[in-house]
A and B are shown apart, each in its own frame.
Chain A
Amino acid sequence: MVFVPGLLVQLGIFGGLFVGFGIIAEWRAGVIDRMMVTPASRTALIAGRVLRDVVVLVAQAIILISCAFLFGLRVPLWAIAAGLVLIGLLGAAFSFLSYAFGLITKSEDAFAPLVNSLALPVLLLSGILLPMSLAPAWLQALASINPFKHVVDALRAIFRGEIGTPEVALGVALAAVLVVLGAWFGNRVFEGQTK
C-alpha cells in the first residue's frame, strides 16, 4: 500500500529519464537528421516518441500492479486507473526532459552523469526510499519544494482510496505542469537542432 506507489513513481522517473540514451544512438545513426529534413512537425517528432514511452511505461506499471495483487495488494479498480494516469504524466514529463538533454549533450558520457545527478536527489527527496517523516526538519522543508514528493503523496492517497482531496489535486496538477514544461523545453531543443 505504501511501497507500491513509491515503486510506480520510481518506474516513471527512471523509465522516462533513460530514454535519452536511445535518441543519442538515433542521432549518431543519422535518424534525427533524416527526420528533420521531412516536413513533419517538430512537436510531433518528439511527442510521438514520448507517447510510445508512456505506452511502454503503463504496460510495465500494469505488470507491477498485477504482481502486487498476487502479494495481497487490494486497491479499487478506479484507483489503479487514476494511478496509471498519474504515472503516465510523470513518465511523459521525464521522457521530454530526457530527449531534450540527450540531444543537447549528444554523448552518453555526458548524458549519464547528468541524468544520475538529476534522478538521485529527486528520488531521495520524494520519500520513495525512506519516509520523509524520519528526516530532519531542513530536509523535510527541502522535500516539500520537490514536486515529485507531492506526486508520490498523491499516488499514495489515491491508493488509499482518496480522490478529490487537496493532496491528490496538488499532485496531479504538478504532474500536469511538469508535462507542459517538459514538452515546451523538449520542443525548443528539437526546433533548435536545425538552427
Chain B
Amino acid sequence: MGAEIQAGQAMIEARQLKRDFKARGRTIEAVRGVDIDVAAGEIVGFLGPNGAGKTTTLKMLTTLLRPTDGSATVAGFDLRRDPQGVRRNIGYVGQAGSTIGSARAGEEIVSHARLYGIDAATANDRARNLLAALDLADVWDRKCGSLSGGQRRRLDIVMGLIHNPRLVFLDEPSTGLDPQSRANLWTHIRKLRDELGTTVFITTHYMDEADSLSDRLLIIDKGEIVAEGTPAELKKKVRGDTITLTMREEKDATEAAGVAGLLAGADAPATDGHIVRFHVSEGASTLPVLLAELARAGIEAIGVEVNRPTLDDVFLTLTGRSLRD
C-alpha cells in the first residue's frame, strides 16, 4: 500500500502521457503528450471540445487504456508498474453509465463492491449510506432502467465511490441531463470533496459546468493541453469585458465606433451593420463615460450590453475556435 496522501500533495502526476490509435494503416495521435498535476482535495475540470482527447486521457489515467508513451503516478501508484494499486484507490464513472436497465440498483451496487473484495455486509451498509447521501435512499429495489436520468447518474457515482476511493474520475457526468438535474448533480459533486475529502477529476465540454464546479481547469485541444489555471485566472487571459452597442442606423454605428475607440483602455471597435463591439478592461466603469460621450456626439444607442468574459471567450482566444463548433 502507498502512504496516505495528505491534502495538497500530488494525487495525479502525469508526464508526457501519449496515446496513438491505429486505424486503417494510419496513426491518429489522440493525446500528444500531456502533463497533468492534481493535488489531493482539488476539484479539477478537464475542458475541451468533443474529440479533443478528454476521454482518452481519462481512460489512460484509470488503467482502461495503456499509454503509448509517458508516465504517471495516480493516487500514489505507478500507472504502468502497479495498475492494481491504482485500481484499488480510484473511482471511475464512465460516460456510458455503469448499469444494465434490468438490474436492481441495490444488488448492482453490492455486486460491484464484491469486485473490490468488500464483504457483502459492509457493501450493504456503505451502499445504503452513499445512496442516502446522494438523495437516492428509496431506489434500492428499483430497476436501474426505471430511474430518471439524474438518478441513474447519481447511482453511477455511488457505484464509483463504493470502495471509498481517494480520487474519483467523472467523465462528462451531466451530459443529457436537464438543467435542474445538472445543478443538483453539481451540488453532490461539491459535497464529495467537502464532506468526504475526495479529489475529483471531471471532464466536461460545458463551460458553465467547468466554471462553477472546478477549483482549477485544464483546457485540452487536439490532444494537447493549451491552458491551465483557476477559472478567474483563465478569464484574465481574455481582453477584459465586451461592450456591445446596438445603433438605430449603420451610419450611427460608424460614428459610435469612432467615439468608442477614443475611450481609455478600449481596443479597436468592430462594426457589423448596426452593431459595434469592443473590449475594455473594466466594463462597468466605462459604460457611463461611453454613454455621456455618445450623447455629446448626438448619437443615440438603442441597446447596450456589457459581458464579462466566459470560458468560451478563453477558449476562443487560445485556439481561435469556439467550444461550440
Residues of chain A at the chain B interface (Cβ within 8 Å) = 25-26, 28-31, 33-40, 193-195
Q: Which residues between 102 and 150 of chain B lie within 8 Å of chain A, taking CB atoms?
A: 112, 115-117
Nearest A residue to B144 by beta-carbon distance?
A29
Instruction: Answer yes or no: B87 CB below 8 A from chain A CBs.
Output: yes
Residues in A with CB closer than 8 Å to B263 are: none
Beyond A29-B101, A33-B64, A37-B92, 11 extra complex contacts between A and B, CB < 8 Å: A25-B100, A31-B98, A31-B99, A34-B92, A37-B63, A38-B112, A38-B116, A39-B87, A39-B115, A195-B65, A195-B66
Number of B residues whose C-beta is below 8 Å from A? 25
Q: How far is the CB of A170 from chain B (nearest CB, A)?
A: 39
Across the interface, do B100 and A31 meet the contact criterion of CB distance under 8 Å? yes
A-contact 0/1 string along B54-68, CB 8 Å cutoff = 000000001111100
Residues in B with CB closer than 8 Å to A34 are: 92, 94, 98, 112, 159
Residues in B with CB closer than 8 Å to A35 are: 112, 115
24 A–B pairs (Cβ distance < 8 Å), ordered by A: A29-B98, A29-B100, A29-B101, A30-B97, A31-B98, A33-B64, A33-B94, A33-B96, A33-B98, A34-B92, A34-B98, A35-B112, A36-B63, A37-B64, A37-B87, A39-B87, A39-B115, A39-B116, A39-B117, A40-B115, A40-B116, A194-B64, A194-B65, A195-B66
Which of A28, A37, A193 has most B Cβ within 10 Å?
A37
Cα–Cα distance between A158 and B94 once the two chains are bound (Å) = 50
Residues of chain B at the chain A interface (Cβ within 8 Å) = 62-66, 84, 87-88, 90-92, 94-101, 112, 115-117, 156, 159
Across the interface, do A28 and B96 meet the contact criterion of CB distance under 8 Å? yes
Cα–Cα distance between A28 and B96 once the two chains are bound (Å) = 7
Cα–Cα distance between A40 and B115 once the two chains are bound (Å) = 5
Residues in A with CB closer than 8 Å to B84 are: 39
Cα–Cα distance between A29 and B96 once the two chains are bound (Å) = 6
Residues in A with CB closer than 8 Å to B87 are: 37-39
Residues in A with CB closer than 8 Å to B115 are: 35, 38-40
Across the interface, do B63 and A194 meet the contact criterion of CB distance under 8 Å? yes
Cα–Cα distance between A2 and B115 once the two chains are bound (Å) = 44
Across the interface, do B95 and A30 meet the contact criterion of CB distance under 8 Å? yes
Q: How far is the CB of A56 from chain B (nearest CB, A)?
A: 15
Residues in A with CB closer than 8 Å to B117 are: 39
Which of A28, A31, A39, A195 has most B Cβ within 10 Å?
A39
